[in-house]
Amino acid sequence: MKTRIKEYRKELKMTQEELAEAVEVTRQTIIALEQGRYNPSLILAYRITKALKRGYIEEVFELEDIEL
């Protein structure tokens, strides 16, 4: 899954550690998310979206790449 986490995080001048603390995960989880190696739960995606001050999950996560 592609994300725009890194882009939005940098716009807010937020470190990976700060984002991790805000959404209650490890920095390694943020790294994996930014690299597209981990798909978050819906709750985590929501928390990240709010922490990055975005209105919609689709702004942060490209959902069309998910196979159903």
Ordered structural domains, the chain, with CATH? 5-65 (1.10.260.40)
Distances in Å between the Cα of 28 and the Cα atoms of 16, 17, 50, 55, 65 are: 9, 9, 20, 25, 23
pLDDT in tens, 8-39: 999 999 999 999 999 999 999 999 999 999 99
pLDDT tier at 56, thresholds 50, 70, 90: very high
CA 40, CA 31: separation in Å to the nearest integer?
12
pLDDT at position 66: 57
CA 9, CA 23: separation in Å to the nearest integer?
13
Predicted TM-score of the model (pTM): 0.89
